[in-house]
Structure 1
Amino acid sequence: MRFAETAIAGVVVVEAEPRADERGAFARLHCPTEFAAAGFPFKPVQTSLSRNPQAGTLRGMHYQAAPHAETKLVRVTRGRIFDVAVDLRPESPTHRRWTGVELSADNLKALLVPEGVAHGFLTLEPDTDVVYQISPAYRPGHEAGVRWDDPAFGVAWPAAPVLISERDRAYPDYRA
């Protein structure tokens, strides 16, 4: 695996390194030892799937509030997304900045999103499946979010969403 740091501390693009032969290819997608050796210790305890039949579906920007904040490793197993992380950590030098990367079933990239960073994505094609590996386990009642188009962040989405939940549309302006 290759780890490429982004402009936001702790948000990392993880690239699988497939080995191909006449049967196809095989790639390691997560190894706690390799993550720790690269300076990003992560041991997921839960795996979740987001199925998205429609291109232009926007999910986010979500996070879990302390003391139940989560780290997520996000990967696409079918289709393509524009994946976004927004730094909400007030003490961070990149507070309120965002980073985005295209994840697809073909490019085998994943995005590691640490605690205190909101996450969301826009599907770029129909029938897109997104797998989340999460630690610690999800705790109901601690969900939080910021609006996908909040001017405090200025995320440059590649297209306007076609489908978005009322909850995600209605988050108030961010104040820190």
Structure 2
Amino acid sequence: MSRFIFTPTAISGVYIIEPKPIKDSRGYYERYFCVEDFKEIGLNKPIVQINHSKTLVKGCIRGFHYQNPPYAEVKIIRCIKGAIFDVALDLRKNSPTFLQYVSVELNEENSKYLYIPEGCAHAFQTLTEESELLYPVTAFYSPEHDRSINPLDKKINVDWRLTPIGLSDKDKNAAFIDNSFKGVELS
């Protein structure tokens, strides 16, 4: 029996995940991750790294980040402190939802995750001061394969919850999508 509820979104392969904690008077116990449970939604690669992100300022945007093959990665995002507006953007060539996004609020109270498959980019906006994320990934970071799309790109037109602030130089200077962008081709 799975310790998670996997809810598909409008983008194939992107899931909102809710853990099923066991609660009692002392608090609760829950699994953060189980490879057997995640096979249910197609995770067939090992987790090779777990990243921890802390953002101090409310309204800050990070992303859209992704890696090209052969370093394309699955990301499993969870907010462990504070709250974020989390976004997955479909960049998969020939996908019926190419350049569409889905979003969800992740926070320390709802304990939800966002499962982002290979070929999708990730961005988030902090909704509180001091927001922290933990996210396992299935590929090592590769600077040569690292890519970004500007989170303020009008072609994507994300409805950020707050006035965007705090973009890194990398994100401010990230490319806007133009007609030459054909998407990520996965093997």
Asked if these proteins are the same fold (TM beyond 0.5), I'd say yes
Q: Distance in 2 between matches of 1:24 and 1:172?
A: 46
Aligned to 2:168: 165
Across the two proteins, how many residue pairs are aligned to each other?
176
Aligned to 2:10: 7
Higher mean C-alpha displacement, 68-77 vs 165-174: 165-174
Amino acid at match of 2:35: P
The match for 1:148 among 146, 151, 155 is 151
1:54 maps to what in 2?
57
Instruction: Describe the SS at the equivalent of 2:37.
Output: helix
Structure with greater strand share of residues: 1
Residue 93 of structure 2 is matched in structure 1 by 90
CA distance in 1, matches of 2:103, 2:45: 21
CA distance, structure 1, for counterparts of residue 42 and residue 174 of structure 2: 33
Q: Which runs of 5+ in 2 are unaligned?
A: 182-187
Query: Within 5 A, what are the aligned runs for 1:1-176?
Result: 1-41=4-44, 43-175=46-178, 176=181
Given residue 7 of structure 2, which amino acid in structure 1 is its aligned partner?
Answer: A
Q: Do the aligned partners of 1:12 and 1:111 also contact (CA within 8 Å) in 2?
A: yes
- Structure 1: how far apart are the matches of 2:33 and 2:46? 9
Measure the CA separation in 2 of the matches of 1:83 and 1:71.
15
Whether contact under 8 Å (2:16, 2:114) holds in the other structure is yes
Structure 1: gaps spanning 5 or more residues: none
Shift of 1:39: 3.8
Q: Give the drift of 1:40.
A: 4.0
1:85 CA displacement: 0.6
Q: TM-score, normalised by structure 2?
A: 0.90
Secondary structure at the counterpart of residue 123 of structure 2: strand
Give secondary structure in 2 for the equivalent of 1:163: coil
1:36 and 1:42 in contact (8 A); partners too: no
Once the two structures are aligned, what percentage of the paired residues are identical?
Answer: 37
* CA pair 140-52 structure 1, distance change in 2 beyond 3 A: same
User: Secondary structure of 1:36's partner?
Assistant: helix
